[in-house]
Amino acid sequence: MEQSEKKPSIFRKASNYFTGDKKGLTHYKDPVSAYQARPHMWIVTIICGIVFILLVLYMNNDISILDCFDRPIPWNTLATRMKNFFTPDWDYFFGTSNNLGGFENGVVYNCFVTLCLTIIATFIAFVLSIPLGLLASHRLFGKWAFISEIFLILIRTFPEILLGLFLIRLSGQTSFTAILALSLHSLGMIGKLYSDQINEADLTSMEALEASGAGKIQTVRLSVLPQVFPSFLSVGLYRLDINIRTGTMLGIILGKYAGIGYYFNNDYGSGDFTRMGADTLGIVLMIIVVDLLSSWLRKKLV
């Protein structure tokens, strides 16, 4: 006596209707019946789109997004401000005017301060991330890697601005606080990328060393690090690009000790668009130079 086939449940039918039979358990008599049983995800897409539109309309009732269109745009004032913005104050840019505080209050000097703080913070994070990234690799340390992995997750949970606000209570508005905020957050991000690169690397040579009786430290030093260190350098240079931008923002909360961000914030508050243009020009040039240099170095390393 043949055993009767088990009928699919209503949930299985609904799942097959929208997503199709992913397990391939359904058999069709002809191509027409197979086409008729195709997934109907377009229905889900339409429903999600309607829900999204309704949420936007609901949020508009609370925050009044459309009210921003009630205010007329001051085109005359906007044109004057844009003209001033694209006519930077060159004395302030190079710090050649004693009336503005001299060279130390110029754009070039403060961009150099931001660059130096960023390089120091990135270098500290680069060095400290190597042991933490190794300890967070499951291929090297198995289940014990969760300890370092959770530590790295906790560090990168807080953005640099929030870390800077916390650390101000510890060390005040100083250059050390800027370096500490940047290096701590970079430590969590770089360490995570290091562990991922180790987990994806070809570690057959490590297994050969372990079979010959080499210890864990010898195995890591002779097999793992030579293979992944060029990628580590590439990640460090990429992180430097990110820290340049973040270091600029730290000036908003850390004052003149964090460099150009402080002066940009002051010029924005005072409405001095000629100095804002000089600040923006310095930031853009600094980021472009660092980005081109780091891209060139990454191509040489990898």
- Report the chain's mean pLDDT, rounded to a whole number: 85
pLDDT of 244 over the 70 cut: yes
Check pLDDT > 90 for residue 117: yes
CA–CA distance, 193 with 212 (Å, rounded to integer): 30
Strand, coil or helix: 87:
coil
What is the Cα–Cα distance from 242 to 4, expressed in whole angstroms? 63
Q: Where are the domains of the chain?
A: 22-63, 90-301
In this predicted structure, the answer to whether residue 5 has a pLDDT above a threshold of 60 is no
Report the pLDDT value the prediction gives residue 2, as an integer from 0 to 100. 46
Q: Report the percentage of the chain scoring pLDDT > 90.
A: 45
Round to whole Å and give the CA distance between 282 and 229.
33
Query: pTM higher than 0.85 for the full model?
Result: no
Which two three-digit tokens encode residue 147? Answer: 């300890």
At what angle are helices 145-157 and 107-135 packed, to 10 degrees?
A: 160
Q: Give the pLDDT confidence score for residue 3 in this predicted structure.
A: 46
User: Distance between CA 148 and CA 154 in Å, rounded?
Assistant: 10
Over its C-alpha atoms, the chain yields an Rg (Å, rounded) of: 29
Of 44-53, 165-174, 181-190, 211-220, the poorest mean pLDDT is in: 211-220
pLDDT at 161 over 80: yes
pLDDT digits (tens, 9 = 90+) for 193-207: 999 988 888 777 777
Cα dist from 4 to 7, 9, 202, whole Å: 9, 15, 50
Q: What CA–CA distance (Å, rounded) separates 79 from 273?
A: 12
Rounded distance, CA 224 to CA 263, Å?
Answer: 45
Give the pLDDT band of residue 64 (cuts 50, 70, 90): confident
Rounded mean pLDDT, 30-36: 70
Categorize the per-residue pLDDT at 182 as very low, low, confident or very high, splitting at 50, 70 and 90. Answer: very high
Mean pLDDT for 239-255 is 90
Give the C-alpha separation, 126 to 189, whole Å: 10
Asked which of 28-32, 122-126, 149-153 is least confident by mean pLDDT, the reply is 28-32
Structure tokens belonging to residue 165: 């606000």
Residue pointed to by tokens 């000629």: 274
Per residue in 286-295, pLDDT (tens digit) is 999 999 998 8
Phi-psi region of 72 (alpha: psi -120 to 50; beta: other; left: phi over 0): beta
pLDDT at 216: 73
Give the pLDDT score at 22: 56
Mean pLDDT of 270-281: 94
What is the model's pLDDT at position 267? Answer: 92
Higher pLDDT, 211 or 145: 145
What is the reported pLDDT for 1?
Answer: 42
Can you identify the CATH homologous superfamily of domain 90-301? Answer: MetI-like (1.10.3720.10)
